[in-house]
Amino acid sequence: MSKKSIFFLLLIIALVVMQFFRIDKTNPAVDASKDFINTVNPPAEIAGMIRAACYDCHSHESKYPWYTNIAPVSWWIKGHIDEGKKHLNFSEWTDYPADERSHNLKECAEVLEETRMPLTPYILLHSEARISREQRKQLGDWFLSIK
């Protein structure tokens, strides 16, 4: 066997073994009394944009499509979801102190304006999360208008 053949055989074995290490896809229960959309009650258009562009990674309502069954892609996606919830979790909105909620709203407006969110790979796989420049401005302005 050539070195190339051995390398590809080891690579295939590694990829097969990776499939045995599954991610946890369970979402904690959502308490509606703590949820951002339920407590802040944005206009329907704004709520729709937030759900489509933010909630998958920033709430307890994450959806795990078929490709999250394939490692190492699943690990990468789970890492993004965990990191997103660590920075901001809309399902736990009322648990944040008032000053942190205010900071989070400013941060939401900023990442929208700078087109840092939603992440490009997410938009490529989730067309419903694609928001126009005008929608970004509308959503950012709305986040800044909340007291």
Could you report the per-residue pLDDT of 50-96, keeping only the tens digit for each? 999 999 999 999 999 999 999 999 999 999 999 999 999 999 999 99
Quote the mean pLDDT of the chain: 94
**Res 1 pLDDT > 90:** no
**Residues near 54 by Cβ (< 8 Å), separated by ≥ 6?**
90, 108, 117, 118
- Does the pLDDT of residue 147 top 80, yes or no? no
53: left (phi over 0), alpha (psi -120 to 50) or beta: alpha
* Mean pLDDT calculated for residue range 100-104: 97
With pLDDT > 90 as the criterion, what percentage of the chain qualifies? 88
Residue 10 CB coordination number (10 Å): 10
Q: Give the pLDDT mean for 13-33.
A: 94
